[in-house]
Structures are given as C-alpha cells and as structure tokens.
Amino acid sequence: MNDYNVNDFGEAHFYQEKKGCRRGITCSGTIQAIEKKFILFKDNEDHLYLAERSTFKFVKSIFEDKTKL
C-alpha cells in the first residue's frame, strides 16, 4: 500500500533501467495523478514526469510558502 495521494507535496525518487544501465532522478514537487501502473509527478520547475509505480519512491513533506510574510 502506498502512503501518498494526489496533490501531496514532497521528494520523489524514481529510476529507469535501459540496456543494463540504471539511472535515477530525485526532485521535489507534487503528485498530479495516480493510475494503476503509472504516476504523473510535477516538479517545482513545472516539468512533468511519468513514472512507473514500481520504481517510484516518495517522501511526503509539508509545503511552506516562504514568499508570504
């Protein structure tokens, strides 16, 4: 069972393996959608990532807007 939902903010880590080479990405952002096999994740720079659920690791954080006083 996962411990994240749509619109959760936090740090995501997911990897891809191709031809025996394994590459990983770690970034902060928000989960946009959760499907049966895939997760759509949007990082803080508005880049979208479609990751397989089996390779997706997520640590939920509390978003603090430091621009407002």
pLDDT tens, residue by residue, 37-46: 999 999 999 9
Question: What is the separation, in whole angstroms, between the first and last Cα of the chain?
Answer: 38
What beta strand segments (E) does the chain contain?
9-18, 21-34, 38-43, 48-52, 57-60
**Domains of the chain by start residue, with CATH:** 9-60 (2.30.30)
pTM: 0.79
- Residue-wise pLDDT for 24-66, tens only, equals 889 999 999 999 999 999 999 999 999 999 889 999 988 777 7
Q: Please tell me the distance from the alpha carbon of residue 47 to that of residue 67, in angstroms, as a whole number.
A: 21
